[in-house]
């Protein structure tokens, strides 16, 4: 058995943003995640693939402690963000979620104006105080989400009035507005049409220049298109993790190969 890597060594590898060590997740008495070790690099897109129910979303939600909101959920092991354990008692999950943003499967803008949707995060975290500062953050975030040109003339119309793809990009803008270091995306394109999907994928590619992006996806083509690293989950285990190219062209594990070739899942 390999020794569990010490946090210091993880920090030394500067490129590693999140390091998970020996993570176990339980819902009540059922174990959803078993012994997951993974290093997520900075300024990289990492995709989690695997059949439904394999635990990839559960693991993703551990990374910003969204699972804390589920009473029966229990997480064991260590997840280090920049070498610090995010499950340590002194870590505030609320602040953590500002550093590790999240975009959900279904576009879920607040029933407020486009402007207020984006301004919400910076406001509650006190990152921008004056009107000018907030204006600036809103514009910058909407530009980063490639939505600015489409909505700049109607910032005060409700965000729920946008099309599905626009709503999802609005949610990305909202997440980006708090200047996160990591952006988690839980099947961000599963409710979108191919054109909107392409736009979001293009966006993900741009976003990786600023921070690390972790994306859960059902579409292997999408994983291949957008990610540099891929992790394959199966029945709660992390089966294989490596460069996307290697995983798709030369998988080491027979389960990975079966999944990629469409035999399981």
Residues in contact with other proteins by CB under 8 A are: 64, 66, 69, 71, 94-99, 101-104, 106, 108-111, 120-121, 124-125, 160, 171, 174-175, 177-178
Rounded Cα distance, 197 and 190, in Å: 8
Rounded Cα distance, 49 and 219, in Å: 8
Minimum CB–partner distance for residue 74 and other proteins (Å): 15
Minimum CB–partner distance for residue 208 and other proteins (Å): 19
Beta carbon nearer to other proteins, 68 or 150: 68
Query: Which among 207, 213, 209, 265 has a CA at the least distance from the CA of 244?
Result: 213
Mode of pairing for the β-strands spanning 45-49 and 229-234? parallel
66 is written with which tokens?
A: 């969204």
Query: Which among 67, 1, 80, 81 has a CA at the least distance from the CA of 33?
Result: 67
Mode of pairing for the β-strands spanning 16-27 and 30-41? antiparallel
Minimum CB–partner distance for residue 89 and other proteins (Å): 17
Query: Which among 261, 240, 236 has a CA at the least distance from the CA of 35?
Result: 236
Beta carbon nearer to other proteins, 84 or 250: 84
Burial class (CB in 10 A: 0-12, 13-18, 19+), 182: buried
Beta carbon nearer to other proteins, 44 or 160: 160
Minimum CB–partner distance for residue 160 and other proteins (Å): 6
Beta carbon nearer to other proteins, 95 or 163: 95
Beta carbon nearer to other proteins, 106 or 254: 106
Query: CB-based contacts of 243: which residues, under 8 Å, 6+ apart?
Result: 228, 229, 230
Minimum CB–partner distance for residue 44 and other proteins (Å): 21
Query: What is the CB neighbour count within 10 angstroms for residue 29?
Result: 7
39 is written with which tokens?
A: 């290093």
Beta carbon nearer to other proteins, 154 or 254: 154
195 is written with which tokens?
A: 């054109």
Minimum CB–partner distance for residue 53 and other proteins (Å): 19
Minimum CB–partner distance for residue 158 and other proteins (Å): 9
Please tell me whether residue 101 adopts helix, strand or coil conformation: strand
Beta carbon nearer to other proteins, 99 or 218: 99
Which residues, listed in sequence order, are joined to residue 122 by a DSSP beta bridge? Answer: none
- DSSP class of residue 63 equals T
């Amino acid at each position: 058995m390999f020794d569990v890597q010490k946090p210091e060594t993880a920090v030394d590898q500067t490129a590693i943003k999140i390091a998970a060590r020996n993570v176990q997740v339980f819902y009540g008495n059922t174990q959803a995640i078993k012994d997951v070790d993974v290093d997520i690099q900075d300024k990289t897109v990492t995709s989690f693939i695997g059949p439904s129910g394999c635990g990839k979303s559960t693991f993703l939600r551990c990374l910003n402690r969204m699972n804390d909101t589920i009473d029966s959920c229990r997480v064991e092991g260590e997840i280090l963000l920049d070498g610090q354990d995010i499950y340590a008692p002194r870590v505030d999950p609320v602040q953590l979620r500002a550093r590790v943003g999240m975009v959900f499967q279904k576009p879920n803008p607040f029933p407020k104006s486009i402007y207020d949707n984006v301004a919400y995060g910076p406001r509650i975290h006190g990152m921008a105080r004056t009107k000018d500062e907030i204006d600036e953050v809103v514009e910058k975030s909407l530009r980063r989400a490639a939505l600015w040109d489409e909505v700049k003339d109607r910032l005060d119309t409700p965000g729920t009035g946008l099309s599905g793809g626009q709503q999802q990009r609005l949610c990305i803008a909202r997440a980006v507005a708090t200047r996160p270091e990591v952006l988690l995306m839980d099947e961000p394109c599963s409710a979108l049409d191919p054109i909107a999907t392409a736009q979001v994928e293009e966006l993900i590619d741009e976003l990786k220049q600023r921070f690390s992006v972790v994306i859960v996806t059902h579409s292997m083509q999408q994983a291949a298109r957008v990610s540099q690293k891929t992790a394959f989950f199966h029945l709660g285990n992390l089966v294989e993790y490596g460069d996307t190219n290697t995983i798709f062209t030369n998988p080491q594990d027979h389960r990975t190969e079966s999944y990629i070739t469409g035999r399981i899942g």
